[in-house]
Amino acid sequence: MTPAELSRALFDLVTALIERRRAAGAEVALELAPEAVTLERPKLREHGDWASSIALRVAKPLGANPREIATELAAGLADVHGVASTEVAGPGFINIRLDAAAAGALAKTIVEAGAAYGHSDTLAGSRINLEFVSANPTGPLHIGHTRWAALGDSIGRVLRAAGAEVANEYYINDAGNQMDTFGLSVLAAAKGEPTPEGGYPGSYIADLATRVLERVPNLLALADDVALHTATEIAYELQLGEIRESLARFNVHFDVWTSERRLHSKGDDGLSDVDTAVERLRAQGHVYDDDDAVWVRTTDFGDDKDRVIRRGNGIYTYFAADAAYYLDKGDRGFAHKIYLLGADHHGYVHRLKALAGAAGDDPQRDIEVLIGQLVSINGAKLSKRAGNIIELDDLQAWLGTDPLRYTLARYPADSPLTIDPEILRRRTNDNPVFYVQYAHARTCAVDRNAASVGLDRSSFAPELLTHETESALLGALQEFPRIVAQAAELREPHRVARYIEELAGLYHRWYDNCRVLPLGDEPIGDLHRTRLWLNDATGQVIRNGLELLGVSAPERM
């Protein structure tokens, strides 16, 4: 019996109870949805497999004592197939214990579901645009981008597992002064001149200059403006290509790459997306003119001050591009937008929410701005190429993709994080990613050893899974779909990491207490075959959890 099946059975009992009260003449103003009847894992195993507080929730509308309601529901649950016993505890909690066969049946359910186990339709119908990283294409990705890449990609994975349609999007900041400065820096390096004041330092600029000269050997013979434009465009293409490659090696995929330049480019009508955005906001009634400038009345939506969208000299502000980009996402059918921004972008929260309101959206419903905190790694060295940052590529080469991704996704985005590289490089149980991956590899080793002695899954007798470690392991396996749905709803993939660590611990304890393979000349029996189902179910869930974090599940370690 799955938690969903048990929850539905309890919902049916509550619904029937409400109808009986109404039939007896009681006025019950209570409409209950199936998802309102939730189950929880008791903290103590002796309290059963599941617990529900639904009696406490419905007692007042029914005008009854919670324990009275709980007693009636518990009696009904005791007659449900697969429920071994029920009891009422405290002010009205219902503790539920499943029989071994009902609990153990989950192992087969998981194996047959495979990679789909843990997925749900919780967020079905949602179209979400998830923007993260969005680093300027003027240099390599650094340690901060590394955290946003791991978190953003994992958030996208759990959202999809919960049924949402998600587009991972990278906003390329390829317009404005930083691109001019970038081009001047590359051209100076090509000429053998010092980095211009305020320019980009680091040997990567010299490397880009060398590659530009390889493409255009006569670069320095061109007119100054042509040479600058050429150097900027080629270096931009090369640097963006490096960013794409770095993210791909880090197992991060983007569905959409949006160029800021596109928002500023003029269409056949002579207007850019930025021009159109200003007029669209004006049509919403939130744009006004003052002091020769054009303003958006963002204070109507909680911003601390109104924002200039076009200066008196006709030049647009960054806010104008933000507005055009926000509207562009909506035009592409994304009703919900999530922005994952760095720790230095707190000021953007009110600005973006106010922008959503000015565009006619609900700032509380249609946009989320998640701020990620800083991360540091003890002993990490500044990049030799960039000089003043710690590069993603260097971190990946030093620590490995799996340990780095797992660790960065293991903590909430809003918590500052210091990583100990010595732990991540150990092949011991105090390294969380090793501990989890080793559990998966152990399930695979059991499979290989089972095949070598002719043990297969040709029979399944879940009523034989009666050992206390089997009960605990099955109880944890039941939790996985709820954990994934919760991680998606809260945008907290670290819940998946902590869950699979707990599951790995339960698996190791089960492995130490319950033999899957026959011992010596012991004949292969149904218990061995059924335990192989449980072994494989556990491996499947660990594998599914690691996939949601963008981490591999090795079969040998």
HSE-up (13 A, CA, CB side) for residue 223: 2
Q: Which amino acid is at 499?
A: Y
317: pLDDT strictly greater than 70: yes
CATH of 128-173+253-375, one of 3.40.50.10470, 3.20.20.140, 1.10.8.100, 3.40.50.620: 3.40.50.620
Distance CA 381, CA 21 (A): 70
Query: What is the 3 state secondary structure string of 176-242?
Result: CHHHHHHHHHHHHHHHCCCCCCCCCCCHHHHHHHHHHHHHCCCHHHCCHHHHHHHHHHHHHHHHHHH
Query: What is the average per-residue pLDDT within 148-165?
Result: 97
Least confident segment among 222-236, 274-288, 487-501: 274-288
Position 108 scores a pLDDT of 97
Which segments within 335-412 are labelled E, that is strand?
336-341, 367-371, 375-377
49: pLDDT strictly greater than 70: yes
Distance CA 483, CA 445 (A): 27
CATH of 104-122+426-548, one of 1.10.730.10, 2.40.37.10, 3.40.50.1370, 3.40.50.720: 1.10.730.10
Model pLDDT for residues 408-428, shown as the tens digit of each residue: 999 998 888 899 999 999 999
pLDDT band at 27 (very low <50, low <70, confident <90, very high): confident
pLDDT band at 152 (very low <50, low <70, confident <90, very high): very high
> Among 421, 482, 542, 460, which residue's Cα sits nearest to residue 105?
460
Model pLDDT for residues 367-406, shown as the tens digit of each residue: 999 998 888 888 887 776 777 788 999 999 999 999 999 9
Q: Which amino acid is at 482?
A: R
Model pLDDT for residues 51-109, shown as the tens digit of each residue: 999 999 998 888 889 999 999 999 999 999 999 999 999 999 999 999 889 889 999 99
Tokens 């909690």 -> residue: 93
Distance CA 532, CA 526 (A): 10
14: pLDDT strictly greater than 80: yes
Mean pLDDT of the chain: 94
Least confident segment among 38-52, 301-315, 475-489: 38-52
Query: What is the average per-residue pLDDT within 189-194?
Result: 96
- Report which listed range, 13-22, 248-257, 282-291, is most confident: 248-257
Domain ranges of the chain: 3-98, 104-122+426-548, 128-173+253-375, 177-249
Model pLDDT for residues 123-134, shown as the tens digit of each residue: 999 999 999 999
What percentage of the chain reaches a pLDDT higher than 70?
Answer: 99
What percentage of the chain reaches a pLDDT higher than 90?
Answer: 82
Residue 256, both tokens: 């959409």
CATH code linked to domain 3-98:
3.30.1360.70
What predicted TM-score, i.e. pTM, was given to this entire model? 0.90
What is the chain's percent helix, strand, coil content, to nearest 5? 55, 10, 35
Residue 87: which residues within 8 A CB-CB, separation 6 or more? 48, 74, 94, 95
Distance CA 223, CA 442 (A): 65
Position 44 scores a pLDDT of 79
Residue 8, both tokens: 């539905």
155: pLDDT strictly greater than 70: yes
pLDDT band at 346 (very low <50, low <70, confident <90, very high): confident
